[in-house]
Structure 1
């Protein structure tokens, strides 16, 4: 087994613990639900605008692709996840707590984590130093991925057991993505479109669910907390 392969597996495994730590923090803070929603909403928005969208546009530029492609994918992601979430919510109104509401969006977070793993694997294929830098950036923001996944499930009234299951899935998928990157060729054109698409999901999750649930805190307090989340993701994105 080569050094790059070992490094890929080790660093992608560390993302598991980072993601779990973020989700556990959300689960252990149930009494501050509105505060948590404001922080998570800011983190999600910061991830979309400071991490995902710039990354998608940058990758598109490297491939000679017009920026409108990943930006259009972001709009498509926003609309698709919005329609799916609202459809799931309407179908299960009155069907008891949870239903399918929230599972679509949280599932989108899980798929996004798979692409994080792909990025780690491809980074180590370029060089050890590039792989380490990419992996550290992913590990840093995977804490917020766990926080966001659980917060989104909680925001939709999902039970703790189901939220934990989605958190574990979110924590495991980077490792799966890294393994896929090692064994299968991934066309570069996939990344700007996929990353753009999931940035649309992040924007919908923040504006359509998380931040509205923080409204009872009052405009000033909820905005301040959201800005703290945005600033956190801005600083994390600078690591990359």
Structure 2
């Protein structure tokens, strides 16, 4: 029952974040700046500490998860550049606006949201206390996940309709991920590899995709401040959950 309740809450918060980005699309550079900070914070204060904690608890070699991180980063980099190469002759190539790039980025976040739901489900497999702690952390940044998905789609000139479809997928993803844990269990070693892999995805999206886009139209100290606030937000959330 707890799994269903918290995964439905994640659904609501994800959708709310995406609709916020749609409503304030004229200030997309500020939203993107905040989004980049959030993703950096999730990797630094949420995912990587969990990787090292899993490794220490189960006697795993953390180097494997770091290799998975590099693979995730380079895989997304390759996918983006191989997509862009087919558009090298387009006039807007220099502006870096390609619907396919936004779609790939958003789908990566959908995959991350599925695993957020898996995290909730696996947390409740351990205990109700762990499950609630994981769920609070997931819900806190699922709002940003929805915002991220919509921002990426709009920034790369996808239609509002397509953007809403991707937002819907991202919103339902945690629910599907949580329900799937009723049918399987992940070993700590596989979970650590997964976390490392998606940390690489998120790092690339933040540093090489979102931040350049945030500063492509308006370069301002306010955008940089929003990035700092995004990272600080996740830092405070993770400290609150741990406390």
When normalised by structure 2's length, the TM-score is 0.90
- The number of residue pairs the alignment matches comes to 235
Partner of 2:148: 148
Whether the aligned pair in 1 keeps the contact of 2:15 and 2:146 (CA below 8 Å) is yes
Once the two structures are TM-superposed, the CA of residue 95 in structure 1 deviates from its matched residue by 10
Is contact 2:99–2:153 with CA below 8 Å preserved after alignment?
no
Residue aligning to 1:22:
17
Aligned to 2:115: 115
Q: Which runs of 5+ in 1 are unaligned?
A: 1-5
Q: CA contact under 8 A between 1:60 and 1:70: conserved in structure 2? A: no
Q: CA deviation at 1:99?
A: 4.1
State how far apart, in whole Å, the 2-side matches of 1:87 and 1:95 are.
18
Alpha-carbon separation, structure 2, partners of 1:99 and 1:8: 35
Whole-Å separation in 1 of the counterparts to 2:213 and 2:98: 16
Superposed, 1:1-240 pairs within 5 Å as 6-92=1-87, 94=90, 98-215=98-215, 216-218=217-219, 220-238=221-239, 239-240=241-242
Measured after TM superposition, the shift of residue 225 of structure 1 is 1.5
The answer (yes or no) to whether the contact 1:98–1:159 under 8 Å persists in 2 is no
Q: What value does the CA root-mean-square deviation take over the aligned residues?
A: 1.9
1:197 is displaced (CA, Å) by: 0.9
Q: Distance in 2 between matches of 1:140 and 1:159?
A: 27
What's the offset of the Cα at 1:143?
Answer: 0.5
User: Are the aligned partners of 1:56 and 1:196 in contact in 2 as well (CA < 8 Å)?
Assistant: yes
Note the C-alpha offset of 1:130. 1.7
Q: Deviations over 1:79-127 (max 9, x none)?
A: 1101101211222454997442222221111111111111111111122
What SS does structure 1 have at the residue aligned with 2:188? coil
Is the partner of 2:186 in helix, strand or coil? coil
Deviations 1:168-218 (A, max 9, x none): 111111111111111223233221111111111111111112111222543
Partners of 2:145 and 2:53 in 1: how far apart? Answer: 22
3-state secondary structure, aligned to 1:88: helix
Q: Matched residue of 2:157: which SS? A: coil
3-state secondary structure, aligned to 1:183: coil
* Contact 2:36-2:207 within 8 A present in 1 as well: yes
